[in-house]
Structure 1
Amino acid sequence: MRVDIAELTPSSPSTAVAHLSAETLVSAVLDARLEWWRRKLCALALVGRIPAGSVPALFGVVRDSRVGTEVRAALLEVLPPSEELLTWLRTTDDDAYNLDLAILRTRARLKDSTSVPDVVALMADEGPHRRLVADQCVDLLGHHEVLAALGFDSSLSLMLFGETPAARLLGVRLSDLDVTQALADEERMVAREAYDRLAEVRDHHGELLRMVADQAPGHLWALAVLAARGEPIGEQWAALGEPMVPVPGLPADVRAAIVRQYVPGTRDTDPRWLLEAACLPAEEPPDVMSQAMAALAPVNPAPPVPVGDHYQQGEGTYHLIDTDAGQVEVSTLGRFYWTADGPDLPGFRRIDEVTGAIMITGLPVYFFGRREPLSVRELLFYWQD
């Protein structure tokens, strides 16, 4: 596809304007009157063909805090290496949203070994999109170069002896060898990385069984790996005493519904939740809304409204039902409801203030930018835009 700049759409690839002259593309990038996405696409089309005389002006756009991050980041992808650029990348304190990711990726593209500590630290970031940039930076820098910058001669030694959890996590990611030892790491995110790796293969089965039988460090993660591979673990779990995360006051049916919905969870999930989920008996999900409507028939319920439709965006785990006696929130995870002043639902568990406030520890869930343990009410009646 070949188009002129005026014919670009936000979804056009940068190759659509690659046929234009470098001078034309530069002029578009420098034109502050153009929409940011046109400038961005023109900038990306300049890869490998920026006229030397245009570099100062384009670098000026990168340093201009009034310009959107999308345009500045695109230019950082294509600007040729120079000491001036590298010095700015290392010293700028510009805090524009997500510009730090573009800066770090550019430092990696330019083989700046001083960026390695920042790249490793980014490995531990909560945001998956930010961790993805860390992975990209490692690939751009080169695995051996990263290990050397950290003072290690192998990914295995980094996995076992890295000074920070992020460094050991990187060791797991870079290792082509047996990572079962990382299941014993004291940091969950490191052990979880090893769990995720091992769950996808059939290797080291005997070692995993030995860890469980000996109750060696990391044995709960080892048993979770076996479960993830589809092996029955009920007997082994029972022999360990059926370890579960204690949550005082949590009703068994509420607990089971939360486990079925939210496990395996995030990288900081306690492995005991993974084992509990693996040992829960299979259950057909009940037709909750039909049952709720039948229970509410005496108070003339309106059709259930999914929470995403109610807020006109996002999705969640409950529906809202208006009745002659007030509004009711009904969870899609089981026979649970919440209401401030509405009717009761026979056959359903009412989640009151006490039960709703119980925190489910060890099971962080993404919720409006946070990944932290949530309460029973937040989990049964969850909404995310």
Structure 2
Amino acid sequence: MRKIDMLIPDRGQPDTAALRAHDPDALARYVLDPGNAWWRRRICADALAGRVPEARVHGLLDRIRDEDETAEVRIALLDLLAGRTELLPWLRDEERHGDGSYGVAEAVLKARGLLGDRTAAPGLSTLAASPWQRWRETGEAGLDGLVEHHGADAILADLGEDRPEDRRFALRTRHRAGLDVLPYLADPDRGVADLAQSLAADPDRLRAFVDQAPTPEAAVRAVCALHGLTEDRAETRRLDERLGGPRVGVDGLDEELRRAVVHEYAPRCERKSDPRWRLEALCTEPPGHQDVDARLTRATAALAAAGLDPAPPVSAGDHHQQGDGSYHVIRCGDEHVLISVLGRFASGHDDGHPARRALEEAGFRWIDGATGGIEVTDLCVYHFGGREPLDVDTLLFYWQD
């Protein structure tokens, strides 16, 4: 066992090649011993892929069933032993594995799919539509297992197309079969339509679809998909003009704010966003070069001239001691003044603080509560696990750990 410990050091990367060549019975015994570190046991389970000693299978299956076992070890063993049909009764018994261990329920669904359990199809379809990559890939792997056992047509029939997640599966299936995916650009669920946009691969078909699209939003998606293939900005702008320059209206969002927000967030917005935001980012000019250092120097000087004794600027990440953000913090006594990297925007907790006047006189734009509270409609941005529209204040002064 000490040799295995040496192959998986406390620091640094494990020697995966040596582990793959190591005696499989020794690895299995290491996994079975709860006295070993769980993270080493998980790595050993991975190293057993394709060479599990039959004599150790029963004990390893017991580790999966044990709700007191570490979740990551159980998940690794479920992947390792997913083809064992004797596990299926336990996998299908919701009460016996409903212990809430992180990730185990998802791994169970995947294992059921790999064993061909068609009753797992709805759950796997939902999992495959998750915005989280880990769960999405888990669901897709389980669905692929069902297709391997029963064929795509059978699983499509089981699921139907009433739910958005089931239409995602139908769309993926059509794409794999080399069939046309463009009709899904008009899907009423933006997540499904966004997937279709990412899968579209024929520029000529997309050009034709723009004029034939059943909905204005589908036409916008076709233009965005075409740009993704050609990167021809001139053509994209011509098509945008042909469509009438479709834009999302947001009350109170003036051109300066809009341009800063659009060009920072629209290119990487979440799949539930209105596609007009992405088209706008492609067809409008971004803000000019942002000299952040010069802006911070100017802000600090203005605050100092006002007698506010500003501390040196620190980034949002340094201020919070983790993560990163789109602003710097200048402390003036009890007030934290925020200076955005996206433009001449400043803010603070107190709209009446003397820092506001000092910065406005120096050419900054103070984002007060009313302006900061404007929600940017249908521009969905990731923020602490959420993927919903955010307000101006959060977008200009964004921080994520």
TM value normalised by structure 2: 0.85
Counting only pairs closer than 5 Å after superposition, residues 44-193 of structure 1 correspond to structure 2 as: 44-79=46-81, 81-91=83-93, 92-142=97-147, 145=150, 147-152=152-157, 162-174=161-173, 175=175, 176-193=178-195
Q: Cα 1:143–1:336, aligned 2, differ >3 Å: closer, same or farther?
A: farther
8 A Cα contact 1:319 1:330, kept in partner: yes
In 1, are the aligned partners of 2:112 and 2:120 still within 8 Å (CA)? yes
Tell me the CA shift for residue 254 of structure 1: 1.0
- Per-residue CA deviations over 1:13-70 (Å, capped at 9, x if unaligned) read 5443233333322221122121111111222222333333322222221122222111
Contact 1:325 1:342 in 2 (8 A): no
SS of the aligned residue for 2:329 comes to strand
Q: Please tell me the residue identity of whatever aligns with 1:339.
A: G
| 8 A Cα contact 2:106 2:138, kept in partner | yes
How far does residue 148 in structure 1 lie from its aligned partner after superposition? 2.8
Q: Secondary structure at the match of 1:77?
A: helix
Tell me, in whole angstroms, the C-alpha distance in 2 between the residues paired with 1:381 and 1:201: 39
CA offset digits 1:325-347 (Å, max 9, x no partner): 94311111111111133513121
- Kept in 2: contact 1:211–1:217 (CA 8 A): no
Please list, as runs of the form range in 1=range in 2, the aligned pairs for 1:191-230 lying within 5 A after superposition.
191-198=193-200, 201-211=202-212, 218-228=218-228, 229-230=230-231
Deviations 1:266-309 (A, max 9, x none): 11110111221122124433213412421431433443211111
1:286 and 2:290 equivalent? Answer: yes
- In structure 2, the CA distance between the partners of 1:21 and 1:298, relative to structure 1 (3 Å rule), is closer
Q: Distance in 2 between matches of 1:215 and 1:361?
A: 20
Secondary structure in structure 2 of the residue aligned to 1:186: coil
TM alignment of 1:268-279, pairs within 5 A? 268-279=272-283
Residues 73 and 342 (structure 1), Cα distance of their counterparts in 2 relative to 1, 3 Å cut: farther
**1: CA distance, partners of 2:114 / 2:73:** 18
Give secondary structure in 2 for the equivalent of 1:18.
helix
Q: 2:262 aligns with which of 252, 259, 262?
A: 259
SS class of match (2:203): coil
Correspondence list, 1:328-347, <5 A: 328-340=337-349, 341=353, 343-344=355-356, 345=359, 346-347=362-363
Residue by residue over 1:63-118, the C-alpha shift from the partner in whole angstroms, topping out at 9 and shown as x without a partner, is: 22222111111111222644431111121323211112221222233233332222
Report matched runs for 1:11-30 at 5 Å: 11-12=13-14, 14-30=16-32
* Shift in CA distance, 334/143, structure 1 to aligned 2, threshold 3 Å: farther
* Letter paired with 1:328: V
Distance 1:215 1:35, change over 3 A: closer
Indicate if the aligned counterparts of 1:211 and 1:222 stay in contact, CA closer than 8 A: no
Find the residue that maps to 1:218 and give its secondary structure.
helix
Q: Out of 49-58 and 66-75, give the one that drifted further.
A: 49-58
Return the alpha-carbon distance in structure 1 between the equivalents of residues 198 and 76 of structure 2: 33
Distance 2:371 2:327 in 1: 17
Would the aligned equivalents of 1:245 and 1:272 in 2 still touch at CA under 8 Å?
yes
Question: Which one-letter code corresponds to 2:193 in the other structure?
Answer: A
Q: CA deviation at 1:146?
A: 5.3
3-state DSSP class of the match of 1:360? strand
Letter in 1 for 2:205: H
Note if contact 1:116-1:146 (Cα within 8 Å) is conserved in structure 2: no
Select between 85-94 and 294-303 the one with higher mean Cα deviation. Answer: 294-303
3-state SS in 1 of match to 2:338: strand
- Does the CA-based 8 Å contact 1:116-1:149 persist in structure 2? no
Where in structure 1 are there 5+ consecutive unaligned residues?
Answer: none
Indicate how the Cα distance of structure 1 residues 4 and 21 shifts in structure 2: closer, same or farther if over 3 A, else same. Answer: same
**Alpha-carbon distance in structure 1 between the residues aligned to 2:188 and 2:302:** 55
Counterparts of 2:135 and 2:222, CA distance in 1: 28
Contact 2:207-2:226 at 8 Å conserved across structures? no
